[in-house]
Amino acid sequence: MSRDMMPHFELIQPSDMDNAFEVLERYGEGAWKLAGGQDSYDWFKDRVKRPQAVVDLNGIEELKGIRETPEGVEIGALTTLAEIAESDLITGSFSLLAQAASRVASPQIRNVGTIGGNVCQDARCWYYRAGMDCYRAGGNTCYADTPEGMNREHCIYGADRCVAVSPSDTAPVLVALDASMVIRNSARERIVAAQDFFIGPDVNIERMTVLEPGEILTAIRIPSTWAGSTFYFEKVADRNVWDFPLVNIAAAIKMSGNTIEDIRIACAGVECVPRRLTVVEDVVRGSSRDEETADLAASSAARGAIPLNFNHFKIPLLENLVRRAIRDS
C-alpha cells in the first residue's frame, strides 16, 4: 500500500488540436488526456493508473474561454471553474452554472480545475480509488455492493455490478440547461446532448462518458433556451469546502406568473450518471408553485430508488432537495 509517489511518465504538451490528435492516435489507449489534473494526479501518484503518455491539453488556446454565440454560450472545455463562477456572461444568463462551479471542491482546485475535467472526472468510489480489482477496474467483483460494504456515498439508482455515482457538481447543471457537448477527433466533430454524454455501468463499466480514446471534449454549448430562467442549485456535502456532493440538485424553471410553465431538473450523487428527474418535471409542469406542488414533487423524486446498506438517507435527502428546488427557487 505505497501511495503518494508520482511515477515517471512521458509528458506531451501539444499546442494545437492537430498536434493533440496526432499524439492521441499514436498512443491510442495508452494516452491520458490531462486538463486541470485534479483527478489525474491522484491516480498517478497512487500508481493505480499508469498511462504510457500524458497529453497535457493546457497549451491549446482554442479549448479555453467563454464565448457568446447566436445560439447561446460556448464554454471551452479547459476553462477553469473559477473563471466560470466569475464570468459576467455566465452569472448573467446562466447563474445556475456559476453557482455550481463555485461549489466545486475548494478555491485552489477551482483555480486549476476545468469544466471539461469536472464533467469527465472518474468515479470516486473509495474501493475503486484504493486500487481494488473491482468491475470498474477490470475485475470481477464489487466491494461496495455487499452486505458489509461501506457504501454511504454510493448509488440508489442504476446499480449494475458497479454502484459508483457521478460526483460532479456541474454535470447536473448541464443536463438541466440542456447543454451540448462538442466532441472532436482527428476526423470529425460530433455533438452530444449532455444527458447522453454520461453513461452508466450498463453501457460501459470502465468509462463514465461517451468519450472514445482518440476524442477530446472541446467545448460545452449552452442554448439560450433557459437563459435567465428561475434557477435553483444546492449541494449537500459533509463539508462546505473540498468535498463531493452526497446529493446535489440543479433546476431550471420557466415561470408564468405563479405557474411552472416548464422545468428541467437533475441531480448527482444518486446514480452513475447525472440523473434527470423527468417524473418530477412531469408532476410540476403546468402547476402553480406552492407547497402542495413542492410536496408532490418531493414525493415523486425518489420513486424506484433502491438504497444500499449505508445510503438510505439519500432518499429523504433527494426528496427534500427537490422540494426546496420547487419551493425556494
Partner 1 sequence: MAYTLLGKDFTPPDIRAKVTGEAKYAEDFRVDGMVFARLLTSPMPHARVRSIDASEALAMHGVIGILTADDVPAKASPQQTILTNEPVFVGDPILAVAAESETIAQDAIDKIKIDFELLPFCVDPLESLYPGGPNARTEGNSVTLNFGQPIPPEVNEKKWTARDFAAVEEGHLPTGEPTVQWEYGDLDTGFEDAALVLEESFVVASNSHHSMEPRSALSYWENGKCHVFGSLQSQSFAMNTLSGLIGIPPEDIVFVAEFCGGGFGSKGNPYPSMVIPAHFSKKINRPVMLRISRAEEYYLGHARSGFQGRTKIGFREDGKVTSIDLYLVQENGSATGFPDINGFSEGASLVYTPEAMRLRGIFVSTNTPPRLAQRGPGQNQMAVTFEPLMDRAAKELSIDRLAIRQINAPTGDALVGAGREPVTSAHPREALAKGAEQFNWVERVKNDGQRNGSKVRSVAVATAFHPAGFNGFDGLVVITPDGKLNVHTGVGNLGTYSYASTSRVAAEVLKYDWENCVIHRGDSRKHLPFNIGQFGSNTSFTMTRTNFVAATDAMDKIKEIAAMDMGGDPEDYDIGEEKVFSISDPTQSMTYAEVAQRAIELGGKYSGIEGPEDINPITKGGLAGIAGTGLVGVAKDKLEKHGLVPAFCAGFIDIELDTETGKYEILDYLGVVDCGTVLHPQSLATQIKGGAVMGFGMAATEKLVYDPQSGLPANVGLYQAKPPSYLDVPSTMGWAAVDEPDPQNPVGAKGVGEPVMGGGAASLICAISNALDGHYFMRNPITPDMIVNAAAGRPQSYKPLQVNNQ
Q: Output the smallest distance, CB 236 to partner 1, in A.
A: 5
C-alpha neighbours within 13 Å on the C-beta side of residue 67:
14
The cell for 150 is 461501506
Residues numbered 153-192 forming contacts with partner 1, rule: CB under 8 A:
none
Q: Is 279 helix (H, G, I), strand (E, B) or coil?
A: helix
Distance between CA atoms of 184 and 173, rounded to whole angstroms? 22
Least distance to partner 1, CB of residue 80, Å: 19
The answer to whether residue 321 forms part of the interface with partner 1 (CB under 8 A) is yes
**Residue 96: how many CB atoms within 10 A of its CB?**
26
**Binding residues for partner 1 restricted to 67-86, rule: CB under 8 A:** none
Query: What are the grid coordinates assigned to 194, written together?
Result: 449532455
Distance of alpha carbon 226 from alpha carbon 230, whole angstroms: 9
Q: Are strands 180-184 and 66-69 parallel, antiparallel or unpaired?
A: unpaired
152 binds partner 1 (CB under 8 A): yes
Helices (H) and strands (E) in the chain, counts: 13, 12
Q: What mask, x for binding partner 1 by CB under 8 A, covers residues 82 to 121? A: ------------------------x---------------
Distance CA 25, CA 12 (A): 13
Around Cβ 5, how many Cβ atoms within 10 Å? 9
The piece of 15-23, 59-67, 142-150, 180-188 that touches partner 1 (CB under 8 A) is 142-150
Q: Which one of 190-198, 214-222, 284-292, 316-324 is the stretch in contact with partner 1 (CB under 8 A)?
A: 316-324
Binding footprint of partner 1, residue count (CB under 8 A): 45
Which of 236, 267, 301, 302 forms a contact with partner 1 (CB under 8 A)? 236
**Binding track over 193-212 against partner 1, x by CB under 8 A:** --------------------
The residue range among 42-50, 62-70, 79-87, 168-176 that interacts with partner 1, by the rule CB under 8 A, is 42-50
Residue 4 makes CB contacts below 8 A (sequence gap 6+) with 45, 46
Give CA–CA dist 229/94, Å, rounded. 8
Among 79, 178, 243, 280, interactor with partner 1 by CB under 8 A = 243
For binding to partner 1 (CB under 8 A), which residues are involved? 1-8, 42, 46-47, 106, 126-127, 130, 132, 143, 146, 148-152, 234, 236-243, 246, 309-314, 316-317, 320-321, 323-324
